[in-house]
């Protein structure tokens, strides 16, 4: 099916006879494969008698050479899969197999994409960016402080550079446009964080997705914001350059050097919010973050600090 899809990626009409000749199958076999493509990958295909078959819109596939050309300063090996359970899972498998960090894992589609707190990350084929960068960390716990917030800054800047000026941050791991989510971050760690470990920077960005029934929260995409499809290879290249810049600064000076910049770009700064931890809820006003990236919340006039991977921050109705 993917060979057939790559023949159709230009968005032009191709006759069933011509497609069958290239693939070495009958026209009826081509038609069956096209039906599978529509059903399994949710890609609309137009059929016009006398002209043939055409994708509703052209597809640009992820390409390691294109990414390298657009960001020559990056020296990360890039592994691209057509379809995979999740890029984070594949990254961890490569670490177990002895892969030398840093390296980048990308996919056209995830069949079991994951967000924070075990939530599903909807991952349609060839529409978005599913990105996992593996780093080797040797500096101990200090190199991990505020790391997910640093990644958020890089994602935000790459999106702004790509025509989404309203991209901003929500503690701890989301990038929003207004109240709609455009990107999420999931960090996973393997090894001893006090000594030598590997961390996977998992990033999902809604790029050209325009409709999907499975997402249970407000969302948007680069194309919905800008009105035009985005070259995902260019976005991946921009993201890599921004990550390189912010990670270098973080490694040299810690999160404290980026704390003020992060707070300036936090959408919910000064807003009334609720912090959810399981069945527990704490109401307060968002003051910002501390030098380690933990949330600073004013609760009944007293500043309190919260951190942890299972926390969720929500705006209160009276905010």
Q: Which residue ranges are tagged as binding site for biotin?
A: 86-88, 110, 114-116, 181
- Pairing assessment for the beta strands 302-306 and 167-170 based on DSSP bridges: unpaired
CA distance 71 to 236: 9
d(CA 292, CA 274): 21
List the one residue out of 209, 234, 228, 231 whose CA is nearest residue 220.
209
Spacing of C-alpha 114 from chain mean position: 11
Q: Parallel, antiparallel, or unpaired: how do β-strands 78-81 and 103-107 relate?
A: parallel
Backbone φ, ψ for residue 119 (5° rounding): -75, 150
291 is catalytic: no
Burial environment of residue 83 by CB neighbours within 10 A (0 to 12, 13 to 18, 19 or more):
middle
Catalytic residue among 170, 181, 232, 238: 181
* β-pair partners for 138: none
Whether the CB-CB separation of 212 and 224 falls below 8 Å is answered with: no
Q: Could you tell me if 315 and 268 are in contact, meaning their C-beta atoms sit under 8 angstroms apart?
A: yes
Counted residue by residue, the chain has a size of: 319
Provide CB contacts within 8 A for 266, sequence distance 6+: 168, 169, 170, 171, 286, 288, 289
| Cis amide prior to 62 (ω within 30 degrees) | no
Dist CA 272 CA 287 (whole Å): 10
d(CA 318, CA 199): 38
Catalytic annotation, pick one of 116, 170, 232, 238:
116
The question of whether 181 is a catalytic residue gets the answer yes
Burial (0-12, 13-18, 19+ Cβ within 10 Å), 234: middle
Kindly name the residue from 47, 264, 271, 314 that is annotated as catalytic. 314
Q: List residues with catalytic annotation.
A: 116, 181, 314
């Amino acid at each position: 099916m993917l060979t057939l899809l790559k023949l159709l990626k230009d968005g032009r009409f191709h006759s069933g006879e011509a497609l069958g000749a290239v693939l070495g199958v009958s026209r009826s076999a081509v038609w069956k494969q096209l039906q599978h493509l529509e059903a399994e990958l949710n890609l609309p295909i137009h059929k016009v008698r006398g002209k043939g078959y055409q994708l509703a819109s052209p597809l640009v596939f992820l390409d390691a050479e294109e990414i390298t050309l657009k960001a020559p300063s990056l020296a990360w090996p890039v592994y691209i899969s057509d379809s995979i359970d999740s890029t984070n899972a594949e990254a961890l498998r490569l670490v177990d197999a002895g892969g030398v960090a840093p390296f980048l894992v990308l996919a056209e589609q995830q069949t079991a994409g994951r967000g924070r707190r075990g939530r599903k990350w909807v991952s349609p084929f060839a529409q978005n960016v599913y990105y996992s960068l593996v780093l080797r960390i040797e500096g101990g716990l200090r190199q991990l402080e505020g790391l997910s917030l640093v990644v958020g800054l890089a994602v935000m800047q790459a999106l702004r550079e790509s025509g989404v000026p309203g991209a901003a941050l929500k503690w701890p791991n989301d990038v929003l446009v207004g109240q709609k989510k455009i990107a999420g971050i999931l960090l996973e760690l393997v090894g001893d964080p006090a000594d030598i470990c590997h961390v996977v920077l998992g990033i999902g960005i809604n790029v050209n997705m325009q409709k999907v029934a499975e997402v249970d929260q407000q969302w948007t995409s680069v194309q919905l914001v800008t009105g035009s499809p985005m070259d995902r290879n260019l976005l991946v290249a921009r993201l890599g350059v921004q990550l390189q810049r912010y990670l270098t600064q973080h490694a040299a000076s810690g999160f404290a050097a980026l704390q003020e910049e992060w707070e300036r770009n936090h959408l919910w700064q000064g807003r009334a919010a609720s912090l959810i931890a399981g069945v527990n809820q704490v109401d307060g006003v968002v003051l910002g973050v501390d030098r380690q990236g933990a949330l600073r919340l004013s609760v009944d006039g007293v500043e309190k600090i919260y951190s942890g991977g299972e926390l969720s921050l929500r705006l209160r109705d009276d905010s």
